[in-house]
Amino acid sequence: MESTKKDDKKSSSFIKEFALKNYKTYVAHYESRQLIPIPFHEFLKNYNS
């Protein structure tokens, strides 16, 4: 069970890092077009199941 918890934490951390990288790209794209991006917590919902 310990191994599973560690794997879940690694996966969760990786997903958040990946989402943050994509969010930064998304924000840059939206701001360049003078649009208002959604907050990160809303964006992160796309990566959680």
| Residue pLDDT, tens place only, 14-24 | 999 999 999 99
Per-residue pLDDT at 32 exceeds 70: yes
Q: Which two tokens stand for residue 12?
A: 């969760």
Alpha-carbon separation of residue 19 from 9, 22, 46 (angstroms): 15, 5, 9
Provide the whole-model pTM. Answer: 0.77
Q: Which two tokens stand for residue 39?
A: 């907050």
